[in-house]
Structure 1
Amino acid sequence: MNYSTIAPDVWDESFSDRSDSLLSSDQCVIQAQHYFVKGLIEIPVIDSDDVFSWAVWVSLSRENFARAADKWNTPGREAEAPYFGWLSTELSLYSPSTINLKTHVHTRPVGHRPRIELEPTEHPLAVEQRTHITLARVREIAETFLHATADKA
């Protein structure tokens, strides 16, 4: 019910040795110029109490990233206004590309990943977030990933 990516699409392993770059499980900085946080695009499953989620990376402005980092371990941080960001994860199941979809990053209590709200467009991912998905769609996503993993083996 949850799929995750390790890094933003623009991350390259060569950045890992640079003093101006960082990749953790929740935050990423590339060459002190590009700033990202990891959050969840949550999609309720119709006729179920389950929620399907994509753990994705969203780019933030330097100012919003600094504010989020300052509040990262602060109780009550969920009272923060949402941060505008650009989706920085390619989810290949969707066409057109998911890169640079407009988002709002909603901070949650300490210990919980932010919730990513997509701008309400006609992009298939945004439509699914708004209208929810069926269990059959969850199975379709799982099968697609299972086949992709098998093809790489």
Structure 2
Amino acid sequence: MPTTEHSFACACCQGQHDGPPRSYGSPAPVSWKPRYARRKDSGLTADQCVIKDLEFYVHGLIEIPVRDGGEPFSWGVWVSLSETNFARMHELWEDPAREQEPAYFGWLTTELPVYPQSTLLLKTHVRTRAVGMRPLIELEPTDHPLAVEQREGITEDRVREFAQLLLRG
């Protein structure tokens, strides 16, 4: 069923849900090219990405509180990590103790077109959560609108604005 003003068809479960979507995501980091899939030194899964054994990325969520609503809004984004931090995160991927790891530093590598300023290369902290949950991406506190929204939250009207911008072009 198509998206309407008051409901949407979920890409994950194929079900129809009330209200605008509470999450949008990117399938790959901005630097990923389809031709890399043919390389032995590159790979892309739903959770991790390696390009030419030189660039390392993890897929996580920037969660934004919705002040006048229930569950938070989230952006599914990609963050670059150092080779050392990526290897450590990969090593602990299925380990319940991963939640005890300190945050990893990373750079945001997803462009979110709803913001007037580029979101590429914003500084982040990547916090691992329970096995099966995507890492939580926390932006460094700057005056970038995305960082401000993560700190201060947004309204249901802003969630609807995202839907209008992203679903209707």
Question: Higher helix proportion, which one?
Answer: 1
User: SS state of the match for residue 39, structure 1?
Assistant: strand
C-alpha distance in structure 2 between counterparts of 1:124 and 1:16, whole Å: 34
State the partner residue of 2:5: none
C-alpha distance in structure 2 between counterparts of 1:121 and 1:24, whole Å: 31
User: SS state of the match for residue 24, structure 2?
Assistant: strand
User: What root-mean-square deviation, in Å, do the aligned CA atoms of Structure 1 and Structure 2 show?
Assistant: 0.6
State the partner residue of 2:69: 48
- TM-superposed deviation, 1:96: 1.3
- TM-superposed deviation, 1:66: 0.2
Q: 1:127 aligns with which of 133, 136, 148?
A: 148
State the partner residue of 1:85: 106
TM-score (norm 1): 0.95
State the partner residue of 1:14: 35
Unpaired runs of 5+ in structure 1? 149-153
C-alpha distance in structure 2 between counterparts of 1:74 and 1:50, whole Å: 27
State the partner residue of 2:3: none
C-alpha distance in structure 1 between counterparts of 2:117 and 2:25, whole Å: 20
- Please show how residues 4-153 of structure 1 align to structure 2 within 5 Å: 4-148=25-169
- TM-superposed deviation, 1:53: 0.1
Runs ≥4 residues deviating over 3 A = none
- TM-superposed deviation, 1:75: 1.1
TM-score (norm 2): 0.86
C-alpha distance in structure 2 between counterparts of 1:50 and 1:111, whole Å: 19
Counting matched residue pairs gives 148
User: SS state of the match for residue 150, structure 2?
Assistant: helix
User: SS state of the match for residue 76, structure 1?
Assistant: helix
- TM-superposed deviation, 1:147: 1.4
Identity of aligned residues (%): 57
C-alpha distance in structure 1 between counterparts of 2:33 and 2:64, whole Å: 29
Letter in 2 for 1:36: Y
User: SS state of the match for residue 125, structure 2?
Assistant: strand
Letter in 2 for 1:95: P
Letter in 2 for 1:70: E
- TM-superposed deviation, 1:95: 2.2
